Amino acid sequence: MVHADRPWQAFYGPNVRPDIGTSSYRNLPELIRSVAETYKSGKAFTCCLPNGMNGTLTFAQVDEMSDALAVYLREVAGLSAGDHVAVQMPNSLSFPVAAFGVFKAGCVLVNVNPLYTADEMAKQFEDAEPHALIIADMFADKVPAATRGHPIPNVIVTRVAEFLPVLPRGIVGLVQKYWDRSVKPVETAHVRLPEALKAGRNRIASDHVEVGAYHQSIGHDDLAVLQYTGGTTGVAKGAMLTHGNLILNMEQAMELLAGDLEKGGEVVLTALPLYHIFAFTVNMLAFYWLGARNILIPNPRPLSNVKRAFENYKITWMSGVNTLFNALCNEVWFTDSPPKHLKFAGAGGMALQSSVAERWREVTGTEVVQGYGLTETSPVLTFEPHGKAREGTIGIPVPSTDVACFAEDGTKLAIGETGEIGARGPQIMKGYWKKPDETEKVMNGDYFLTGDIGYMDSDGYIRIVDRKKDMVVVSGFNVYPNEVEDVLAAHPGITEAAVIGVPDAASGEAVKAFIVKGDDSLTVEQVRAYCKEHLTNYKVPKQVEFRDELPKSNVGKILRKDLRAEQTAQIAAE
């Protein structure tokens, strides 16, 4: 029976539960162990390199390795329950071993973008206060600068090719060291991941350590992950995601797809980075739970890096963002030989353009179903039911989720009225780490306010019409104008700066900076080079425009909305 306040339930499949209820798993380690016992020698994770070299770990191997890491963290490194462990690496076999090991140790995982500059790392480390860091050697040279003033006592270093067979692992190591020189000497006191696992295994054997003791008292309300996001102020905030948030959101997302996915029979392509919350929850956790084989792509750029994965594996499902699907449809090798076993694909992180969805359908003969959510919601709030998508919408709420729109005064609006989208359900974060005031700002009772403006139609399908926040979404990654403006303001040749998002065919949106010079000799190239020293590449302004002055309010506040209006008018006139 469809609840009057939940019209969307009429579009659930016949076997979809409107409410998930309580999961049978008390915590993530319990889920990890249960799945490993079910699928044992099945292939869990395969890391596929651009040249086709690869390595695979079975469910049993991932389970055993993460046990060893958990024991190392607790017995050798000396961590305690609830301590924070930062993980900073691209997609690789080390990632699930590290994440699962942290959970089994009863510790809290802190996901860190491996492309962060030392400055960006330092800000996140200062806030998250990690007791250990597991980092890929390609990025370890930034650790001394990133930990100055707030040292991390335990550093574990791994490799992109970790756990691959000896020959490909050796080849990759030589290429990185002598050819592209992407790996520099690690100048921080550290232990290598294989050594940490060996030490953990030795403790298990000699002291008969029971890994289950570390997490036996952990329940749904206990903190599992600090997932960093930003806001209108550009201040980084750690969304506190609990074991229950992640487990139930995983089940919520999979419930809508249950009729289309086979337990133990799927092969999922993971080109999105696992440190991104969508790939973390859906690709890594949910497909592990389904017993799927996960094909990990360390770096999908250039797109030829994923060619061998499509050629060598029977990919049945993949996730991505609009830009990835668009780019694949413009690759001759992909259009000439589209994946033959693909059932459908899932899109998240940014709006899926209708032209891209249509082109994908033409090339692959399959649909892209779009999901919507935020870091604070673990992340999935809505998903398009497979075969029931409606153009221009973000689908319907997943089970056990209520979505409503709210007026400026916090009043809940009727269906069809436009307001700020709010949601409540078991996937809503516990709050922002050490920032109760920021948490209070985004809650309206038990509804989390997303910052997006939209409305729900009479069937429960939701449309986003505007973004309340000034956030710019570049290829699915959030860029906060204040952060970029702070970097620009520190340049001695810049007097004032404002940053907005502008439409971009390749990335959906691009960062544009408006600058008032303090030094007449300053060039666009110099501005972008300076930003590249302090910001991850996707945050660097793609466009730079010099102005004599910037629009301001009566109190001197720079008016980004006026700059956006100018850009909109300019585009319309072209």
- pLDDT tens digits, 428-458: 999 999 999 999 999 999 999 999 888 999 9
Cα 256 to its chain centre, rounded Å, is 21
In the predicted model, what is the mean pLDDT of residues 6-30?
Answer: 91
Q: For residues 506 and 302, what is the distance between their CA atoms, to the nearest angstrom?
A: 13
In the predicted model, what is the mean pLDDT of residues 122-132?
Answer: 95
pLDDT score at 348: 82
CB environment 239-277: b (16+ within 10 A), e (fewer): bbbbbbbbbbbbbbbbbbbeeebeeeebbbbbbbbbbbb
Shortest CA distance to 492 belongs to which of 514, 512, 521, 519?
519
- pLDDT tens digits, 513-534: 999 998 999 999 999 999 999 9
Structure tokens belonging to residue 406: 């709210």
Q: For residues 104 and 96, what is the distance between their CA atoms, to the nearest angstrom?
A: 12
Residue in the structure block whose two tokens are 């809508």:
256
Q: For residues 74 and 478, what is the distance between their CA atoms, to the nearest angstrom?
A: 34
**Structure confidence at residue 230 as a pLDDT band (50, 70, 90):** low
Residue in the structure block whose two tokens are 């900073």:
88
pLDDT at 178 over 70: no
In the predicted model, what is the mean pLDDT of residues 41-50?
Answer: 97
pLDDT at 232 over 60: no
Segment among 4-8, 244-248, 429-433 with least mean pLDDT = 4-8
In the predicted model, what is the mean pLDDT of residues 158-168?
Answer: 90
- Determine contact, residues 23/248, Cβ cutoff 8 Å: yes
- pLDDT tens digits, 402-415: 999 999 899 999 99
**Structure confidence at residue 349 as a pLDDT band (50, 70, 90):** confident
Q: For residues 139 and 145, what is the distance between their CA atoms, to the nearest angstrom?
A: 12
pLDDT score at 553: 63
Segment among 36-45, 216-225, 345-354, 444-453 with least mean pLDDT = 345-354
Query: Can you give the pTM of this predicted structure?
Result: 0.87
pLDDT at 104 over 50: yes
Catalogue all structural domains in the chain, each as residue range(s) with its CATH number.
59-218 (3.40.50.980), 472-573 (3.30.300.30)
Cα 437 to its chain centre, rounded Å, is 25
| Cis-peptide, bond into residue 551, ω within 30° of zero | no
Q: For residues 328 and 311, what is the distance between their CA atoms, to the nearest angstrom?
A: 14
- pLDDT tens digits, 463-501: 887 666 677 889 988 787 878 888 898 899 998 889 999
pLDDT score at 1: 55
Alpha-carbon distance values, 127 to 84, 154, 304, 435, 514 (Å): 11, 17, 38, 10, 30
- Determine contact, residues 254/294, Cβ cutoff 8 Å: no
Shortest CA distance to 227 belongs to which of 424, 376, 423?
376
**Angle at CA of residue 123, ends 120 and 127, nearest 5°:** 145
Sorted by sequence, the CB contacts under 8 Å of residue 554 that are 6+ apart come out as none
pLDDT at 45 over 70: yes
Structure tokens belonging to residue 82: 């609830």
pLDDT score at 235: 61
pLDDT score at 467: 66
Residue 503 three-state SS? strand
Listing DSSP states for 414-462 in one string gives PTT--EEEEEESTTS-SEETT-HHHHHHTEETTEEEEEEEEEE-TTS-E
**What DSSP element (H or E) covers 174?**
helix 166-174
**Structure confidence at residue 380 as a pLDDT band (50, 70, 90):** very high
pLDDT score at 480: 79
- Determine contact, residues 356/362, Cβ cutoff 8 Å: no
- pLDDT tens digits, 305-315: 999 999 999 99
- pLDDT tens digits, 258-299: 778 899 999 999 999 999 999 999 999 999 999 999 999 999
- pLDDT tens digits, 194-228: 999 999 999 999 999 999 999 999 999 999 999 99
pLDDT score at 2: 60
Segment among 162-171, 339-348, 392-401, 426-435 with least mean pLDDT = 162-171
**Structure confidence at residue 233 as a pLDDT band (50, 70, 90):** very low
- Determine contact, residues 316/341, Cβ cutoff 8 Å: yes
In SS3 terms, 246-297 reads as HHHHHHHHHHHHHHHCCCCCCEEEECCCCCCHHHHHHHHHHHHHCCCEEEEC
Mean pLDDT, all residues of the chain? 91
Alpha-carbon distance values, 236 to 56, 229, 409, 434, 438 (Å): 35, 6, 26, 11, 11
> Sign of torsion, CA 339 342 348 350?
positive
Q: For residues 333 and 546, what is the distance between their CA atoms, to the nearest angstrom?
A: 41
Residue 139 three-state SS? helix
**Structure confidence at residue 538 as a pLDDT band (50, 70, 90):** very high
